[in-house]
């Protein structure tokens, strides 16, 4: 493979000759991200930023590029950005991010010799790369003591701020209390959200500007990086995720989660009256999904911090804090399920809400399995197998459940027409559930009134069901049971 380490006779690139230029490039990209993204709708702006990031990475690392792979890398970037040009969604953004990472690895990583090493390089770039921005900035001042102190608190404060932001987004009470503490707006262009955005933007672009690759992920000592950082006091990822950092993180995280746990115990489980301007429906809906994101981030941190053979796995102080924190996360997931249940009681069921219940159950089981892995000293492979087995069992059980009939029956039974409370029945949604909802649709029509349009659409579903049963090729036991029930119901009517 062509070596990417420059010969001494090769002229240094602009980025290596002037290290501050890399910092200026990162700041310029962060400013561009602020202009394109902050407070704006996303669209072609993502493609523009990706192109700017590609050009900046090319200029900053020009002296160490593998020229033979530039064309292939360029084609990958173009192919990865095309879906985002067509339509911006989660899938197209994922392709764009992967294309940028693969192109950077192809042109600058000398350890890229297989699929496994390529996947490890991408994980290194996207998971640990953003943390190097702090290390490189602080290390540039060559103050080992200051660097060490900041390294111990960087991860706790960064993740703690993220968890706090998620809690505020999930809990309208916290949002209200924080807004009451706000004395004013002394600087219209400065805010906590904008500051966090700039920090995140700088951390995200820095791995593309100051490239550093390792053989393997979080394990090997072989590294190659820009000559501009050769004299900087090294702080590797192990320092950022050492025992001292993990201990501080767990103490801070347990305190933050305790606030949310106490509020849930008071208002969600204890049914204490909320302020007049906050309803239980709002309190429930705001917290259901952000708290699941919080639990997933917590699980990822625990897996990285308590990795087998890591400095924190055998600590008698850290392990109880991990158990306490994961326990709080399990309570958080259970509270999210209760929130969703309260919301469903008011606004009825949908497929997405059923899927959310199943997903929350899987997250809760996954957290318990993480505790089991730590307590039983099992490898991560055991955890993966256990989660796959759980997922298989849940999906198998779900394949046997008639969700359309359950959703339709629940919505009819808990609608305003049937129970006198809640929301009015959404007949359009019932009809979209398909023939399996016919028994509930018949009951709904009797509850409301005989509407010729509704009856006509109901008859279309009956005809759809009959056509499906007309051929043995489309026979299904669930459809057969439904057809039998429909025939039994229509037999007395035909006799009359």
Evaluate if residue 278 carries a pLDDT over 60.
Answer: yes
pLDDT at 477: 84
Residue 151 within a domain: yes
Residues 385 and 408 in one domain: no
Residues 61 and 204 in one domain: yes
Mean pLDDT for the stretch of residues 481-486? 83
Q: Lowest-pLDDT range, 47-61, 158-172, 358-372?
A: 158-172
pLDDT at 162: 84
Residues 136 and 282 in one domain: no
Residue 3 within a domain: no
pLDDT at 254: 87
CA gap 300, 303 in Å, rounded: 5
pLDDT at 406: 92
Residue 191 within a domain: no
Provide the residue count of the chain: 496
Question: Which secondary structure element, helix H or strand E, spans residue 342, and what is its range?
Answer: helix 318-347
Residue 192 within a domain: no
Q: Of 205, 225, 240, which marks where a domain is finished?
A: 240
pLDDT in tens, 179-237: 776 555 444 456 667 888 888 888 888 888 887 776 654 444 445 554 444 444 445 55
Residues 283 and 168 in one domain: no
* 86-91 long-range contacts, CB within 8 A, separation 24+: 88/42, 88/43, 88/44, 88/46
Q: Lowest-pLDDT range, 3-7, 391-395, 482-486?
A: 3-7
pLDDT at 20: 61
Residue 49 within a domain: yes
Q: How many domains does the chain have?
A: 3
Q: What are phi and psi of 129, to 5 degrees?
A: -55, -45
Residue with tokens 């049914």: 271
pLDDT at 7: 38
pLDDT at 376: 85
Evaluate if residue 77 carries a pLDDT over 80.
Answer: yes
Evaluate if residue 12 carries a pLDDT over 50.
Answer: no
Residues 424 and 324 in one domain: no
Residue 6 within a domain: no
Residues 234 and 246 in one domain: no
Residues 373 and 323 in one domain: yes
pLDDT in tens, 428-463: 888 888 888 888 888 888 876 567 777 788 888 888
Contact 305, 242 (CB under 8 A): no
Q: Of 401, 416, 434, which marks where a domain is finished?
A: 401
pLDDT at 143: 52
Contact 243, 311 (CB under 8 A): yes
pLDDT at 390: 92
pLDDT at 317: 82
Nearest to 412 by CA among 386, 395, 388, 437: 437
Of residues 285 and 419, the one with the higher pLDDT is 419
Nearest to 53 by CA among 106, 122, 99, 1: 99
Residues 158 and 229 in one domain: yes
> Can you give the residue range of the structural domain that contains 481?
403-495
Please give the DSSP secondary-structure letter assigned to residue 62. Answer: G
Residues 207 and 272 in one domain: no
Confidence of residue 389 (pLDDT cuts 50, 70, 90): very high
Residue 96 within a domain: yes
Residues 366 and 423 in one domain: no
Q: Measured in Å, how far apart are the chain's first and last C-alpha atoms?
A: 86
CA gap 452, 128 in Å, rounded: 62
pLDDT at 310: 66
CA gap 478, 483 in Å, rounded: 9
pLDDT in tens, 392-416: 999 899 889 999 999 999 988 888 8
Written as six digits, the tokens of 364 are 């809760």
Cα 167 → chain centroid: 15
Q: Give the rounded percent of residues in the chain with a pLDDT score beyond 70.
A: 76
Residues 285 and 263 in one domain: yes
Q: Lowest-pLDDT range, 6-20, 61-75, 78-92?
A: 6-20
pLDDT in tens, 377-388: 888 888 889 989
pLDDT in tens, 129-153: 777 766 666 555 555 555 566 667 7
Evaluate if residue 347 carries a pLDDT over 70.
Answer: yes
CA gap 469, 473 in Å, rounded: 9
Q: Lowest-pLDDT range, 226-230, 368-372, 422-426?
A: 226-230
Strand ranges (E), 128-287: 212-214, 223-225
Nearest to 166 by CA among 291, 27, 45: 291
Residues 304 and 323 in one domain: yes
Measured over the CA atoms of residue 147, residue 148, residue 149 and residue 151, the dihedral's sign is positive
pLDDT in tens, 22-58: 778 888 888 898 888 888 888 888 899 989 988 888 8
* Three-state DSSP state, 43: coil
* Three-state DSSP state, 349: coil
Q: Give the rounded percent of residues in the chain with a pLDDT score beyond 90.
A: 3
Burial class (CB in 10 A: 0-12, 13-18, 19+), 326: buried
CA gap 221, 237 in Å, rounded: 11
Q: Lowest-pLDDT range, 114-123, 235-244, 271-280, 422-431?
A: 235-244
Confidence of residue 478 (pLDDT cuts 50, 70, 90): confident
What's the whole-number average pLDDT of the chain? 76
pLDDT at 485: 82
Residue 185 within a domain: no
Written as six digits, the tokens of 63 are 């002296």
Evaluate if residue 272 carries a pLDDT over 70.
Answer: yes
pLDDT at 6: 39
Task: Give exposure, 53-85, as e/b (b: 16+ Cβ within 10 Å).
Answer: bbebbbebbebbbbeebeeebeebbeebbebbe
pLDDT at 221: 41
């Amino acid at each position: 493979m062509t070596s990417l380490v420059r010969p001494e006779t090769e002229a240094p690139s602009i980025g290596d000759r002037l290290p501050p230029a890399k910092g200026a490039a990162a700041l310029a990209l962060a400013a561009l991200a602020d202009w394109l993204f902050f407070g704006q709708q996303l669209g072609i702006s993502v493609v523009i930023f990706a192109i700017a990031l590609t050009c900046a990475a090319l200029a900053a690392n020009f002296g160490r590029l593998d020229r033979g792979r530039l064309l292939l890398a360029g084609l990958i970037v173009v192919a990865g950005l095309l879906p985002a040009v067509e339509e911006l969604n989660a899938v197209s953004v994922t392709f764009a991010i992967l294309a940028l990472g693969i192109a950077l690895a192809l042109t600058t990583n000398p350890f890229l010799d297989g699929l496994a090493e390529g996947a490890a390089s991408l994980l290194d770039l996207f998971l640990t790369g953003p943390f190097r921005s702090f290390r490189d900035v602080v290390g540039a001042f060559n103050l080992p003591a200051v660097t060490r102190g900041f390294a111990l608190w960087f991860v706790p404060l960064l993740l703690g701020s993220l968890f706090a932001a998620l809690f505020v987004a999930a809990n309208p009470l916290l949002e209200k209390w924080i807004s009451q503490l706000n004395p004013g707006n002394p600087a219209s262009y400065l805010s906590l959200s904008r500051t966090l955005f700039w920090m995140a933007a700088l951390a995200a672009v820095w791995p593309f500007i100051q490239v550093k690759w390792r053989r393997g992920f979080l394990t090997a000592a072989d590294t190659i990086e820009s000559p501009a950082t050769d004299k900087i006091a090294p702080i590797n990822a192990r320092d950022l995720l050492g025992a001292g950092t993990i201990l501080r993180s767990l103490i801070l995280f347990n305190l933050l989660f305790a606030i949310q746990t106490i509020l849930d115990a008071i208002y969600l489980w204890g049914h204490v009256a909320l302020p007049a301007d906050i309803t239980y429906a709002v309190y429930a809906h705001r917290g259901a999904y952000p708290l699941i994101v919080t639990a997933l981030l917590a699980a990822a941190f625990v897996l990285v911090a308590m990795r087998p053979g890591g400095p924190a796995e055998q600590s008698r102080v850290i392990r109880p804090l991990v158990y306490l924190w994961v326990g709080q996360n399990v309570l958080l997931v259970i509270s999210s399920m209760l929130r969703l249940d309260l919301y469903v009681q008011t606004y009825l069921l949908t497929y997405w809400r059923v899927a959310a219940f199943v997903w929350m159950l899987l997250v809760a089981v996954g957290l318990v399995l993480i505790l089991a892995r730590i307590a039983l000293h099992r490898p991560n492979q055991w955890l993966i197998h256990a989660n796959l087995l759980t997922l298989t069992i849940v999906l198998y059980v779900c394949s046997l459940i008639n969700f359309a009939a359950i959703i339709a029956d629940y919505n009819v039974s808990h609608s305003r027409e049937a129970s006198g409370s809640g929301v009015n029945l959404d007949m359009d949604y019932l009809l979209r559930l398909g023939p399996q909802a016919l028994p509930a649709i018949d009951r709904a029509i009797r509850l409301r009134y005989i509407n010729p349009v509704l009856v006509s659409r109901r008859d279309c579903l009956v005809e759809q069901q009959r056509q499906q049963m007309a051929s043995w090729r489309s026979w299904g036991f669930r459809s057969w049971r439904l057809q039998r029930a429909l025939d039994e119901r229509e037999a007395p009517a035909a006799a009359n």
